A and B are shown apart, each in its own frame.
Chain A
Amino acid sequence: MKAKISERQLNKYSKNMDNTISAKDRIIAWPRMGRIDIPLKALMLSLGAKIVIPPANSNEALELGVKNSIEGICLPYKLNLANYIMALEQGANTLMMFQAPGSCRLGNYTKMAQKTLKKMGYEFDMVIFDMYQSKMKQTLQAFWHVTRCINPFKYYKGFSLGFNKFFAIDEAQKLLFYTRPREIHKGDAEKCYNKWLNIIDNTNSISGAKALVKRIRKDFANIQINKNKYVPVVYLLGEFFVLLDPYVNQDIEKTLGESGIEVQRQIWFSEWLEGVLKPSFLNKKESHRQKCVRNARKYMKRAIGGESIETIGDAVYAAKNGVDGVIHILPFSCMPEIVSQNILNKVSKEEDIPILTLVLDEQTGKTGYITRIEAFVELVKRKKIMRNSEMKKKKEDLVNV
């Protein structure tokens, strides 16, 4: 990984950047989403930056966000804004923002957040990571801008720590989803997961980070599970942010796992990041998106922004591959996912798969939400039992003939 940046690009780039804060005074913060703070922290610290990590999303954060943003804007924005405010209160002066213009409202967020915060009287510099057109080069430039780090080795170390941690976290989470519904002693899987989050966070060597995934797999294999249990599988689909942040989705994965359902999520931060940053010629295997486009074709002929086509593609894939149900989650007023929701009704009927849509907003009460999930879980389980007995009968019929 090279950190060479040609002068011309640099000039072009820093024109849009505020240079009033010198690199050594910068205190950097970024919005919270799931556990992306762990890898990003490793990366920023390797580059020698000072950072502030605002508290994880919570009711308090949401309230703060709602208070300072307009009605009708989407939930992710409100929480991001709250994260910024909290970080600024803790002394941050450089805010990182990840945006993907062209996909949705997200691209419009930055300016709005900037304006709101300025109006509230904060002084800061916002560095935008344009994840859409950027790929590796611009990302490096943005990092260079905030840290002024010119040592290529540090970049190498930072990025390899960061990437490996991303993969390790996602691996741990996948194993958690698999283990939780099958564990014999309730809580084992989660304990193991939390333990590993800690270890991941505290790993500081490249070799250590590279070994993480293997060690995690080994450790999870030690948890006692009931291998013969009937565990229905449910796909969790929907908008990126609500899928990845446990506060926003009210830890739906836990609720499902504890009621004996294996959750499979199709969107992973590590995979997404790889897709964005890796030059396309290195991607030999079909990417998740390409797979979705292929699967969704019967229902959807074009991508319409956001994660809509992924949602549809995965739902169809789920139905074709014996997955027992789909839960579709979206923030209130989310544009692409409302389109998905309209289409999913038909997918559910034609592909014969139960689909539950959950719309999340500030007022979503946890209880109402849980009753709906419970009812859905019952439905999925019943369906699974029915399907199994049907299959058995079919087999018997064959034998009898």
Chain B
Amino acid sequence: MVRQENLKKIIGIPRAISYYNNYTFYYGFFKSLGIEIVLSDKTTTKLINEGSKYVVSDTCLPVKVFVGHVINLLNKGCNTVFVPSIQSTGYKINNCSKIRGLPEIIRNVINRPFKMIEPTLDKTEGFGIKEFCFETAHQLGIRDKKLINSAISSGREMYNRFLEMAKSGIPHGEAVENAVKGNYVLKKMSLVKPLSVVIMAHGYNLFDERISMNILNKLNKMNVKAYTCLDITRTDAINSIHELDEIQYWANELDLTGTAAYFMLNKKIDGIIALSAFGCGPDSLMVDEIQYHANERKIPMLHLNIDEHTGEAGFVTRLEAFTDMLERKKRKQLLQCNKPKNIEIAINKKQIQEPKVLTKVK
């Protein structure tokens, strides 16, 4: 009975902020509550410009993008929108004010009639995932305890499946798609790339192809392996932060310092890339923290700041300059260590890359 009523219910999920980390969970949860999901379109320049109109110019890019997505959903005729407020993810481990206050911003900057589903996740105050989900369901008018509980577990299940796929090396977007479709694919082996870097960035910056200027793809093309927050577990991230004698201060810190710290300590990476949005408060602190440790370990680091006007060309130039530098450095290191007799080391870049280019052309 309940299910049939709910079939008519629709919820709009903006493809921004918590979408990138949690969408698979939301999908499993809402689907098994019997609620139809409408997603906003992918981020475009037009959408960003639209969003920027509603907020003051000092607001950071991801929030502008979020507003753009909400507008996009409203334009599609969807008038129930999911805007969670993620206050803290552990005792006194708070999020940035803008993420905590997302519903507050949306409520006050968009003057159109629509219903906002705005649950709060605040572990400092004892509102965990379960409370978060119950609040969501209640706001949608669903009160069946059993149904909600089972929805939570199917959300979890889907989320775990997504994580497994992503960990095996499947790109974020594909992993989400497969999880949602119920597929389960794992990447078998991947080629070892000559260079590897770790990217520290919020999920909503890194996996949004427009915001990140598709950096993952670009690096892939440059034959550089990029590690991201999806490659490690939460515990690893937390432990690595502690190992550097730091503490987790921000809720979304694991994607940044946690990831960078882990690879800095445990894997031989050649460099660190920090990708952050212009006007972000927490990022400047986290990047500085990692920069400090990277300097101590002599690991090169590149800090890319993006805003709505960042041009593709300049972005690529900086990226290329950085990877070139890494390559030179690595080659020098290899030359310096005792060179085994039977291995030839390519002296210049062309020698390595040319064969590949040729095969591609053919």
A343 at the interface (CB under 8 A from B): yes
Inside 8 A of A101's CB, which chain B residues have their CB?
A: 92, 249
Question: Is B92 a contact of A338 with CB atoms below 8 Å?
Answer: no
A108 touches B285 (CB 8 A): yes
A71 proximal to B (CB < 8 A): yes
Check B97 against A302 for contact (C-beta < 8 Å).
no
Using a Cβ cutoff of 8 Å, how many contacts connect chains A and B? 101
Contacts of A301 in B (CB 8 A): 103-104, 118
Asked whether A140 is an interface residue with its Cβ less than 8 Å from the other chain, the reply is no
Please state if A342 and B59 are interface contacts (CB–CB under 8 Å): yes
Evaluate whether A112 and B94 lie within 8 angstroms (CB atoms) in the complex, with A302-B100, A342-B55 already known.
no
Contact with B along A22-35 (1 / 0, CB 8 A): 00000000000000
Q: Are B284 and A342 in contact (CB under 8 A)?
A: no
CB-CB nearest in chain A for B292? A115
Assess A342 versus B105: contact at CB under 8 Å? Given A70-B288, A102-B124: yes
| Contact pick for B281, options A107, A302, A335, A345, CB 8 Å | A335
By the criterion of a CB under 8 Å from any partner CB, how many residues of chain B are at the interface? 38
Asked if B58 contacts A299 (CB within 8 A), the reply is: no
Determine if B2 is an interface residue (Cβ-Cβ < 8 Å).
no
Flag whether B171 is at the interface (Cβ < 8 A). Answer: no
Residue of A70, A107, A335 touching B249 (CB-CB under 8 A) = A107
Question: Contacts A338-B59, A339-B101 hold; do A302 and B120 have CB atoms under 8 A apart?
Answer: yes
Cα A304 to Cα B289 in complex, Å, equals 24
Residue of A whose beta carbon sits closest to that of B249: A108
Q: Which chain A positions have C-beta within 8 A of B281? A: 72, 74, 105, 333-335
Chain B contacts for A342, CB-based, 8 A: 55-56, 59, 105, 108-109
Neighbouring B residues of A304 by C-beta, 8 Å: 85, 87, 97, 100-101, 104
The answer to whether B58 touches A332, judged by C-beta atoms less than 8 angstroms apart, is: yes
User: Is A175 at the interface (CB under 8 A from chain B)?
Assistant: no
How distant is the Cα of A111 from the Cα of B288 in the complex, in angstroms?
Answer: 12
Residues of the B chain whose Cβ atoms lie less than 8 Å from the Cβ of A270: none
Give the CA-CA distance A17 to B91 in the complex, in Å: 23
User: Of residues 271 to 312 in A, which have CB atoms within 8 Å of B's CB atoms?
Assistant: 299-302, 304-306, 308
- Contact call B109/A345, Cβ cutoff below 8 A: yes
**Considering the chains assembled together, what is the distance between the CA atoms of A102 and B95 in angstroms?**
9
Q: Nearest A residue to B122 by beta-carbon distance?
A: A302
Nearest-neighbour CB distance to chain B for A334, whole angstroms, equals 8
> Judging by beta carbons under 8 Å apart, are A341 and B97 in contact?
no
Please pick, from B92, B101, B108, the residue contacting A345 in the complex, using a CB distance under 8 A. B108
Q: Does A359 contact B (CB under 8 A)?
A: yes
B279 at the binding interface (Cβ < 8 Å): yes
Given A105-B285, A341-B56, A342-B55, A302 contacting B105 (CB threshold 8 A): no
Whether B104 lies near A300 (C-beta < 8 A) is: yes
B96 within 8 A of A: yes
CA distance A339 to B66 in the complex (A): 14
B33-56 interface (Cβ within 8 A of A): 55-56
A305 touches B109 (CB 8 A): no
- Chain A residue at minimum C-beta to C-beta distance from B280: A72
Which B236-262 residues have C-beta < 8 A from chain A? 246-247, 249-250
Return the contact of A343 from the options B105, B280, B284 (Cβ within 8 A): B105
- Report chain B residues within 8 Å CB of A128: none
Beyond A74-B281, A108-B285, A302-B101, is A335–B85 a contact (Cβ under 8 Å)?
A: no
- Residue with the highest number of chain A CB atoms closer than 10 Å, among B55, B97, B98, B105: B97
Bound-state Cα–Cα, A389 to B58, Å: 39
- CB neighbours (8 Å) of A357 from chain B are 56
The answer on a CB contact under 8 Å between B104 and A299 is yes
Q: Does A39 contact B (CB under 8 A)?
A: no
> How many whole Å from B307's CB to the nearest CB in chain A?
12
List 8 additional contacts besides A73-B288, A333-B281, A335-B281; criterion CB under 8 Å: A70-B288, A299-B104, A302-B87, A302-B101, A304-B85, A306-B97, A346-B108, A346-B109
Can you list 22 pairs linking A and B with CB atoms under 8 Å apart? A70-B284, A72-B280, A101-B249, A300-B101, A301-B103, A302-B85, A302-B101, A304-B97, A304-B104, A305-B94, A308-B97, A308-B101, A333-B58, A333-B281, A335-B98, A338-B59, A342-B55, A342-B108, A343-B104, A343-B105, A345-B56, A345-B108
Q: Which 9 A-B pairs have the closest CB atoms?
A: A72-B284, A304-B101, A304-B100, A335-B97, A336-B97, A335-B281, A343-B108, A346-B108, A339-B101
